[in-house]
Structure 1
C-alpha cells in the first residue's frame, strides 16, 4: 500500500511539474511581489488533480510534500490563503532531477535555503533558518506518511479527519511562511543588486 501511495505521489509530482512548466496553465503570480514568476494556485492544482481522479487525501499530502521531495517545486504566497506553486528553472539547470523515492525512508531532508552565488544576507542565510526549514520539511514528510497510514485505517472518525485536516493545513501554512520569507529575501537581494 505504501509503494502504491509513493507511486501515486511521484505521478502527482510529475504532473504538477508538467503543469507548472506549461504556459497555458501557469499565470503571473504577482508582478509586484514576485516579478517574473509564473505559477498555479494551490487551490487550482488540487482541483485539477481531483479532476484526474486522485483522492483528495492523496492530493493534499502529495502537494504539501512536493517541495520537500523535489526542490525545483517552490511556493509563493501572495496572501496567507493564496498560495502559488512554481517551477524553479534555476534549480533544474544546476541540479539533476531527484529520483522519485520508492519508500518514505528514501527521502532525505536537506535545508531548502535559497541558492544564489552569494549567501543570503540576514536571517535567511543563517544556519538556524536552514535548520528550521529542514525541520519543517521533516514534519511535512511525516504528515505525508501519516496520511498514508490513515488510508489503511479507514474509516476514520470525525475527530481523526478533523485532526488530519487541521494539522496538515497548519504545517502547510508554516511551509508557506518559510518559503515566502526565503523567496522575499532572494528578491530583496536582487533589488539591492
Structure 2
C-alpha cells in the first residue's frame, strides 16, 4: 500500500489542506494520506502553535468524512527538533509493509536541498508535489528528477497564518474551515 505523508503543523487545519490531501488520494496512485502533525518545525517560531493535543484533535475532527485520510502523531514522541528523514526511518521500522512517499508544495521543494539528509530522502522516497502560485521554478537540480511527481492539484492560497490573523481581527472565516473545526476553535476561544 502506498501512503502519502502530508506534514504540517496544521495550526489550524483548513479546507486548503483537506482539498490537497483529498485530491492526492483520489487523483494519484496513493492509497492513503497520513496527515503528520508536527510538534515544531525547526524553521518556524513555536510561540503561535497550539498544543499538540488541540491540533491533532482538530485534524481528527476534519477527517471524519475522509476514510482514505488519517492523522498521525508519530512525531510527538520523537526528540525535538525532529527532521523528516528521522520520521521516515521510524515509520519504515514500524510499518515495513508500507510504501511511504512525501507530499509537498512547490515552495517546499525549492528548499529541499537545505533539508537534513535530503539526498537520502530523494534516493529512497517519491515526492508528490502540488503547485503553488508565483513560487518561481523548481530548483534545476530537481527538475525532471525520477522521484519527483508533479500532481496538478488545485492551487490553494489559504494559509493557517491568514486564518489565525483573521480570527484575531474578528473576521468571519467560517467557510475556510471544516464546520466541526470552526466550532472547536470558537468554543476554545483560540487565536483571539
Instruction: Give the alignment's TM-score, normalised by structure 2.
Output: 0.24
User: What TM-score results when the alignment is normalised by the length of structure 1?
Assistant: 0.24
* Structure with greater helix share of residues: 1
